[in-house]
Amino acid sequence: MNDRVLRVQDLAVHFKLREGLFFKARTYTLKAVNGVSFELNAGETLGIVGETGCGKSTLARAILGLIKPSRGRVLWLGEDLGKLDEEALRKKREDLQIIFQDPLAALDPRMTVRDIIAEPLWTFYPRIARVQVDERVRGMMKMVGLLPNQVNRYPHEFSLGQCQRIGIARALVLNPKLVVCDEPVSALDVSIQAQIINLLKDLQKMLNLSLVFIAHDLSVVRHISDRVMVMYLGRAMEISTQKALYRRPLHPYTSALIKAVPVPDPRLARIASDTGLTGDMPSPLDPPAGCVFHGRCPYVVKRCELEVPALRRMENGDWVACHRAEELDLTIGKSST
Amino acid sequence: MTLLEVKDLDVSFETHDGEVHAVSKLSFSIDAGDALAIVGESGCGKTQSMMAVMGLLTENGKASGQALFKGKDLLQMNVADLNKRRGKEIAMIFQDSMTSLNPYLRIEKQMIEVLMHHQGLDKAEARGHAIEMLRAVRIADPERRIRQYPHEYSGGMRQRVMVAMGLLCQPDLLIADEPTTALDVTVQAQISRLMTELRAKSNTAIILITHNLGVVAGLCDRVLVMYAGQAVECGTVEQIFYQARHPYTRGLLKSVLRLDQPGDTGLEAIPGNPPSLLSLPAGCRFRERCPQAHDACCEMPPMRRDEQGHTWRCFLDQVDE
Amino acid sequence: MTKSTDNSSFDPFEAALGVRDLKGRSPWEDAWYRLLKNRAAVCSAFIMGGMILLVLVGPMVISWESDFTDWDFTSSPPSFSSGHWFGTDAVGRDILVRTLEGGRISLLVGLVATLVSLIIGVSYGAIAGYFGGTADRIMMQVVDIIYALPFLFFVILLMVVFGRHIVLIFVAIGAVNWLDMARIVRGQTLSIKNMEFIEAARACGVTPWNIIRRHIIPNLMGVVIIYVTLTIPQVILIESFLSFLGLGVQEPMSSWGALVSDGAQDMESAPWTLIVPAVFLTVTLYCFNYIGDGLRDALDPKDRL
């Protein structure tokens, strides 16, 4: 499991926005993703967690080349995706797939399930026989837990959970190596979330997929990730193994996120601790100087306002971007110092 | 004192596919100052039951049964009488704050409208009140913010404004329909905390509609679990979380993604999907997905009750330690 | 259901695997059922159907020829005894036959010109909308420029250069109408382009042309159909207007507009020469409008994205 398949280096995506007319016009730069680096090995799952505005969805699309990065590189199996022309990049899509957040919107409402799942096949194998397509589509449907006799139905005739299964079938029909899951369970009901996460785990094992699993909630990624990256305002705050992160997070923001998740246990919930965060999230149009988190951090010192902390490696192999990482002990369950 | 008592509420909708039975014989009650959670998945009828109580059903919907608010049946009331109570004695806040607020009106105007209508305040008084409320929900710089438009607020702030608007007239009952579902976790935590505080201050009863069991555990005293339009279990938070008796409730609790469990434990999902509300099965509606179904389940199980007031709709006894 | 208390061994999934394929219900079918419930639209559709049948078959069945001048009954009012049920015009031609034949021309113009504007407008608009950027800007500037040209001037110019030919009418009208269609299609394309399933198609490596062909155009069709049913009456009216001004079809061919023009001249002495074609024209316009309205209601925004 040590073969690295994906390497992202200092990736940034900046959007230029114009406001006002003519002479009063001002351009703002929206730094959606502002310098993110990480690696992914074959068969591994990296969970990416962050709240609204942290840039995780933009990051997902930049990794796949659906959005052009403003800076940085994405190396897939050693090859720089940014250097490929349109056609070459298109061919790579056989290996790089995505599952979307809104299960129904991700499906063309006027196509049958069969057509939706078959489309990637037609695209990459234009001469493929009808019979073969049909066989493969039905096989995929069975694999994701859908009854094959539903092939002729339309997306609006399915529940959201089933729509997501269709989306997963479509993403996997070409046997990709990397699947980016952009908040795949956020729109689903609680018990369906568990179904879909279990499905993804099984499929990953079966097909040896590498997954990038994006969510806004730490409890969601826990069950599926090997490592977790926490993002805030376009930057990575921490990248740790799953076990370590949930026991002893390295970054104050991670600790706040963990404390913020409501525990479904009345006795524990009553003594739930304050997240420790103050204020609201700043706008990505105008990120604070120094550490982007310093305005809300309960452990802030002078240095945090002036200097941007680099993402650095700690003793146990995990990464964190915090000036005070060595001194803070954010073990869950211990009251904050 | 019982504030709202719902008896045998039935809600159905006429669609061109047939009649959809959204809610079947729902009964529950809530006392003053209480916090009740109505828990269930999409399509279980939790939202529609409250819409019926508030008189907000769409044209093709009809409700029967009783919804006694302070002794008077809301379902039998005409619009004028309902309007006297809505906003003032019962308030409802919805999930999507962006569509609940009029994008063309300043926040000020929307908040003042409620106050002037129900409490007969003049503009200046109403404005002062509204600003105080914004301050209470921790909107920074409320005097300036109140003059802004909804799109100038973030999602979390809008939701806080919704909570503020709901509580403006200090209603006896606040119905919150998935108020935190669309929000970030940290904002969710803020709003939950806020609602707890405000409830303590003004003794407002809260009905919280949600499928997030974590929020329920932190905020509510009692829980009503719904499935396919019916109430399947009802009890205090402790009873539901630690001594759940209905197989659906137990399945739900097992499948919830929890932070306090190690990541390698498998998730136990409830297999299958809820039944279609167009063609409900006879007998227990959970039968098809129930790991403990047996022949007797072809009959509709009655609602059973134990000495602690814990009710559940199942033939089995399921007691957990 | 089996008697076992353990439901996990009974897998409803396995049991259902052998079952026949189910039929799906596409959003079009849903829209169709909604349309059928709209009485005004359905009535109008029947009336239009009847109208089309009449104009096609009528002149062949009626005993009078459209150019036959019945000197016994010039400018005679409608009567059963004369055999001219809708009367005759100043030179004794049967009004009904003239109107029905004129209807052929009017409806033909409506259909053909609309078809032309449909094909050009949809392709142009979808391409401009999907590719965006400079191409879009240039293409839309062209549309704006052509739009600014005075229509009548353009038509007269064509007439002068190419002479008065029926095909010219189609060309002239089609050449102007596609502009509106292109604008509307471009706007819709812009909003569809940002939908997640388009992004999904890109992520699956589908080429831009296939995306336009397979995803964008079918999802545009709802709006396009509505617009088409409202364009047809517009085109018929334009043609009538041209004919009224004397720029339209040449004698002996006639259209409703020309007939109305002729009839207007004899309005006081022989009002039926005006009323009959005017009624046919008006009924057609109303019917198309009701059908268009019905379609707009039926093609639910929820379906239509």
* B58-93 pLDDT, tens digit each: 888 999 999 999 989 999 988 888 888 888 899 998
Is A147 an 8 Å CB contact of chain B?
A: no
Amino acid found at B271: P
Kindly state the tokens that stand for C255: 């259209």
Is B96 an 8 Å CB contact of chain A?
A: no
CATH 3.40.50.300 applies to domain B2-220: yes
Chain C residues whose C-beta is within 8 A of a chain A C-beta are: 13, 16-17, 19-28, 195-197, 199-207, 210, 214-215, 218-219, 303, 305
Q: What average pLDDT score do residues C65-80 get?
A: 78
Residues of chain B found within 8 Å of residue C7, distances taken between Cβ atoms: 289-293
Residue A168 lies in a domain: yes
Does residue A63 share a domain with residue A201?
A: yes
Looking at the complex, report in whole angstroms how far the Cα of residue C211 sits from the nearest Cα belonging to chain A: 11
Cβ-count burial of C84 within 10 angstroms (0-12 exposed, 13-18 middle, 19+ buried)? buried
- Chain C interface test: which of B270, B289, B294 (most C C-beta within 10 Å): B294
Q: Phi/psi of residue A175, each to 5°?
A: 55, 60
Does residue A256 share a domain with residue A196?
A: yes
Is A86 an 8 Å CB contact of chain B?
A: no
Nearest CA in chain C to A97: C203
- Written as one string, the DSSP assignment of C140-154 is HHHHHHHHHS-HHHH
Q: What is the pLDDT of residue A270?
A: 58
Residue A24 lies in a domain: yes
Is A333 an 8 Å CB contact of chain B?
A: no
Q: What is the pLDDT of residue C239?
A: 85
Q: Where are the alpha helices (DSSP H) in chain A?
A: 56-63, 86-92, 113-124, 130-143, 160-172, 190-207, 218-222, 242-247, 252-260, 266-270, 302-306
Which subunits count as partners of chain B given 3+ CB pairs below 8 Å?
A, C
* B41-60 pLDDT, tens digit each: 888 889 999 999 999 988 88
Is B18 an 8 Å CB contact of chain C?
A: no
Residue A326 lies in a domain: no
Which subunits count as partners of chain A given 3+ CB pairs below 8 Å?
B, C
Residue A101 lies in a domain: no
What total of structural domains would you count in chain A? 2
Residues of chain B found within 8 Å of residue A264, distances taken between Cβ atoms: 213-214, 216-217, 241, 253, 256, 258
Q: Phi/psi of residue A89, each to 5°?
A: -65, -40
Residues of chain C found within 8 Å of residue A154, distances taken between Cβ atoms: 24-27
* B132-144 pLDDT, tens digit each: 888 888 787 888 8
- Written as one string, the DSSP assignment of B143-165 is HHHTTS-GGGS-HHHHHHHHHHH
Residue A333 lies in a domain: no
User: Cβ–Cβ of C13/A147 closer than 8 Å?
Assistant: yes
CB atoms within 10 A of CB B203: 12
Amino acid found at C8: S
Query: Which of these, B247, B181, B267, lies nearest to B216 by C-alpha position?
Result: B181
Does residue A258 share a domain with residue A186?
A: yes
Does residue A265 share a domain with residue A210?
A: yes
Residue A103 lies in a domain: no
Residues in chain A, total: 337
Residues of chain A found within 8 Å of residue B213, distances taken between Cβ atoms: 190, 264
Give the CA dihedral A119, A122, A124, A125, nearest 10 degrees: 150
pTM here is: 0.85
Choose the closest CB to B293 out of C1, C33, C34.
Answer: C1
- State the pLDDT confidence band at C75, using cuts at 50, 70 and 90: confident
Choose the closest CB to C7 out of B16, B290, B298.
Answer: B290
Chain A residues 263-292 with CB within 8 Å of chain B: 263-270, 272, 275, 277, 279-281
* B153-186 pLDDT, tens digit each: 887 788 888 888 888 888 899 999 988 877 778 8
Residues of chain B found within 8 Å of residue C2, distances taken between Cβ atoms: none
User: Cβ–Cβ of A154/C24 closer than 8 Å?
Assistant: yes
Q: Hey, which of A51-55, A244-248, C268-272 has the most confident mean pLDDT? A: A244-248
Say what percent of chain C tops pLDDT 70.
92
Nearest CA in chain B to A276: B186
User: Cβ–Cβ of C8/B291 closer than 8 Å?
Assistant: yes
Q: What is the pLDDT of residue C298?
A: 85
Residue A8 lies in a domain: yes
* C232-264 pLDDT, tens digit each: 888 888 888 888 877 777 777 888 888 888 888
Cβ–Cβ < 8 Å for A134, A114: yes
Q: Which uninterrupted H or E stretch holds C108?
A: helix C95-131
Nearest CA in chain B to C30: B16
Is B290 an 8 Å CB contact of chain C?
A: yes
CATH of the domain at A267: 3.40.50.300
Q: Please tell me whether residue B275 adopts helix, strand or coil conformation.
A: coil
Q: What is the pLDDT of residue A261?
A: 82
Euclidean distance between CA atoms A101 and A164, whole angstroms? 9
User: Cβ–Cβ of A156/C27 closer than 8 Å?
Assistant: yes
Q: What average pLDDT score do residues B183-208 get?
A: 84
Cβ–Cβ < 8 Å for B219, B196: yes
* pLDDT at C17 > cutoff 70: no
User: Cβ–Cβ of C27/A153 closer than 8 Å?
Assistant: no
Cβ–Cβ < 8 Å for B178, B208: no
Cβ–Cβ < 8 Å for A114, A122: no
Q: What is the pLDDT of residue A273?
A: 56
ipTM of the complex: 0.87
User: Cβ–Cβ of B293/C7 closer than 8 Å?
Assistant: yes
Q: What average pLDDT score do residues B202-222 get?
A: 89
Looking at the complex, report in whole angstroms how far the Cα of residue C31 sits from the nearest Cα belonging to chain A: 12
Does residue A171 share a domain with residue A128?
A: yes
* pLDDT at A126 > cutoff 60: yes
Residue A188 lies in a domain: yes
Query: Which of these, B311, B285, B289, lies nearest to B298 by C-alpha position?
Result: B285
Does residue A281 share a domain with residue A187?
A: yes
Query: Tokens 């420790």 identify what position?
Result: A276
Is A193 an 8 Å CB contact of chain B?
A: yes
Nearest CA in chain C to B15: C34
User: Cβ–Cβ of B267/A198 closer than 8 Å?
Assistant: yes
* B93-131 pLDDT, tens digit each: 888 777 788 889 999 998 888 888 888 888 888 899 899
Euclidean distance between CA atoms B165 and C185, whole angstroms? 42
Q: Which of A175, A201, A230 is the last residue of a domain?
A: A175
Q: What average pLDDT score do residues C68-93 get?
A: 79
Is A148 an 8 Å CB contact of chain C?
A: yes
Cβ–Cβ < 8 Å for B233, B244: yes
Amino acid found at C232: I
Euclidean distance between CA atoms A234 and C220, whole angstroms? 36
Q: Which contacts (CB < 8 Å, 24+ apart) does range C212-215 have?
A: C212/C126, C212/C127, C212/C130, C214/A108, C214/A111, C214/A119, C215/A108
* A190-242 pLDDT, tens digit each: 888 888 999 999 999 999 999 999 998 888 888 899 999 999 999 999 999 99
Does residue A264 share a domain with residue A142?
A: no
**Buried b / exposed e across C246-264, counting CB within 10 Å, b at 16+?**
ebbbeeeebbbbbbbbbbe
How many degrees, rounded to 5, is the angle at CA C153 between CA C149 and CA C159? 130
Residue A152 lies in domain: 109-175
Looking at the complex, report in whole angstroms how far the Cα of residue C295 sits from the nearest Cα belonging to chain A: 17
Choose the closest CB to A152 out of C21, C195, C199.
Answer: C21
